[in-house]
Amino acid sequence: MTDGAPDIAVLDYGSGNLRSVERALVAAGANVEVTADRASAVQASGLVVPGVGAFAACMSGLHNMRAAEIVDRRLAGGRPVLGICVGMQVLFDSGDEHGVVTEGFGQWPGVVERLEAPVLPHMGWNDVHAPESSDMFRDISHERFYFVHSFAVRNWVMPEGDRIAPPKVTWSEHGQPFVAAVENGPLWATQFHPEKSGTAGVALLGNWLATL
């Protein structure tokens, strides 16, 4: 354990590159606990929600530990949460996989859908296009990040008349544009895998840790 380093909980609900995420966070300067304990997930300085595979399968595991309540409690207190890959996708309204629609956490409006691309899955390194005001990509420019997915949010539409500061949305493209990352107050998420993205991914995680 490193004195003065933030304490991060990586949520273990049966899905995700848990040890890879743990190693990358340690490299970024965090004390990390991979845990299925609800109290630890609520109380940690930061919570990471990983995820790989099918949207519905991840939601099943998350439902079993009432993870939506954990995320809601943290966000209500302004306590940071970072979603990765399917851990990002579940934050949206729903996922549509081959005509099977599964409800998500509903933190953001949008549907996770199959990309329209000549080759799927979208696997490998790709560029991202972040807003200039991004905190997630501060001092990270002209870098590529590692993706492994076939589904994504292809359209971002916030409700009209919403007076809350709009989220900062980063885009990428594979066959068509899709949401690659979102910064929304204490709630951040990436469609790519920072834990597999080398020094750029560790730098991004360091930017997240700096917000804690």
Examine residue 158 and state whether it is found in any structural domain, yes or no: yes
Helix (H, G, I), strand (E, B) or coil at 68: helix
Examine residue 2 and state whether it is found in any structural domain, yes or no: no
The pTM assigned to this predicted structure is 0.95
For the chain, helix, strand, coil in percent to 5 are 25, 35, 40
Domain with 66 in it: what CATH number? Answer: 3.40.50.880
What is the Cα–Cα distance from 201 to 88, expressed in whole angstroms? 16
Total number of domains constituting the chain: 1
Catalytic residue among 122, 149, 174, 193: 193
Examine residue 130 and state whether it is found in any structural domain, yes or no: yes
> Does the active-site annotation cover 22?
no
pLDDT in tens, 42-85: 999 999 999 999 999 999 999 999 999 999 999 999 999 999 99
Examine residue 1 and state whether it is found in any structural domain, yes or no: no
Examine residue 146 and state whether it is found in any structural domain, yes or no: yes
pLDDT in tens, 193-206: 999 999 999 999 99
Examine residue 182 and state whether it is found in any structural domain, yes or no: yes
> Does the active-site annotation cover 195?
yes
Q: Is the pLDDT of residue 180 over 60?
A: yes
| Helix axes 55-64 and 67-76, enclosed angle (nearest 10) | 80
> Considering only CA atoms, which of 82, 41, 87, 32 is closest in space to residue 188?
82
Catalytic residue among 58, 85, 174, 183: 85
Domain that holds residue 199: 7-209
Examine residue 159 and state whether it is found in any structural domain, yes or no: yes
Residue 104's H or E segment, with its range, is none
